[in-house]
Amino acid sequence: MAVTAFARSDPAQEGVVAFNATRHLRQVAELVGATFADELDANGRASLREMQLVGRFSPFLGGLWGTAFFENFVAGYVWVEAGQVLGNVTLQRADFVGIRWRISNVAVAPQHRGRGIAHHLVEATLREIARRGGNWAVLQVRADNLAAHHLYERLGFTDVCRDGVWRLPILPANLPQSEPGVSLHPLRASAWRERLDLAHAARTSLARWADAVNPADYQVGLGRQLGEVLGRMTGFYRVERWGVLGTTYLLGAVETQLNGIADTHLLRFAVRPEARGRFEDALVAQGLRTLAGAPDRPVVVEHDADHAEGVAALETAGFRPQRVLLTMRRLIVPGDVGKT
């Protein structure tokens, strides 16, 4: 889970109060840090340290946090009782035009949960999005966080897609054999448009709504091709790409990256919807075979968790889920502005 820093000012009150960095930042940093201690990635921990540092000096930073610039990009609400911040919700623009708004850092102090605090805070946040003319509220929640899922469903959010990270702690001594009947071919680095097209087709339109496929993740220009050749010559960096060819386009593909200085090896694969269930095992197995002889490091895969056959292939090969995040969204309607 990512942690973000933010600001907005409002007169001090009890109950739902607009976040004000000068008054609340230190307590919010403590609450969010304690709540998500186990989930934060390196970026989250760095942001949190920043928040805590800024929080210590926040009485001197009031003017800065109150500027229109920060107000436009980040806001939030806290729940206050007797001067104590007991709950928090952060709101950020998710695009430059302000159509989508991201809700994050939803946290309530453990001894005050179940009192409706989060419900009130998220409701206030939805009103704020409506007031600012936004169309969508978007958030991510761990797929196994049933309490939070229930909270968001009650407030009208619906599921969009699930994305996960799988990890194989160590390459098995006996790498999987090739699958009989599946013909895999090496793919040239320059044939990146076909792989981009496949990645696009493999994601549902809803999943693309949440997170569009980024062409830069697939483009292999001349500079990158040269880097790959040099990496292979020195043995320091090796990228392999294999695919199942259809009559007009790729039906499936796998790519592995072995990087001499990285902590992990990377594998990614995709299968066209009409070919699902036929190639996943073969692609994952081929990916692992390309890593034969690589330094002993975990192999990490980021993949669409709604692709059941892909998830099954990963788990058969020994991968275990590290984290599965569910993206949820809610349409903002004009009536949200006046809701109490």
Ligand X SMILES: CC(C)(COP(=O)(O)OP(=O)(O)OC[C@H]1O[C@@H](n2cnc3c(N)ncnc32)[C@H](O)[C@@H]1OP(=O)(O)O)[C@@H](O)C(=O)NCCC(=O)NCCS
Give the interface with ligand X as residue ranges (CB under 6 A).
Answer: 35, 106-108, 113-119, 141, 145-148, 150-151, 154
Token match 């001594």: residue? 173
Of 110 and 335, the one with the shorter C-beta distance to ligand X is 110
Cβ(140)–Cβ(288) below 8 Å: no
Angle between the N-to-C axes of helices 21-35 and 42-57, in degrees from 0 to 180, rounded to the nearest 10: 150
Closer residue to ligand X in complex, CB, 116/295: 116
Q: Which is nearer to ligand X, 198 or 305 (CB)?
A: 305
Entry field: residues in the chain: 340
Q: How far is the CB of 31 from ligand X (least distance, A)?
A: 9
Cβ distance to ligand X smaller for residue 107 or 313: 107
Task: Report d(CA 52, CA 47) in Å as an integer.
Answer: 9
The angle that helices 308-316 and 280-290 make with each other, rounded to 10 degrees, is 40
**In whole angstroms, how close is the CB of 136 to ligand X at the nearest point?**
17
Cα-based distances in Å from 91 to 46, 147, 272: 19, 20, 36
Four-residue CA torsion sign, 172, 173, 174, 179: positive
In the complex with ligand X, which residue's Cβ is closer, 32 or 283?
32
Report the DSSP beta bridge partners of residue 265. 299
State the nearest-atom distance from the C-beta of 95 to ligand X, in Å.
20
Residue type, 130: A
Contact 29, 51 (CB under 8 A): yes
If the CB atoms of residues 38 and 274 are measured against ligand X, the closer one turns out to be 38
Residue 261 beta carbon to ligand X: minimum distance, rounded to whole angstroms: 34
CB of 228 to ligand X, least distance (A): 39
Least distance to ligand X, CB of residue 162, Å: 14
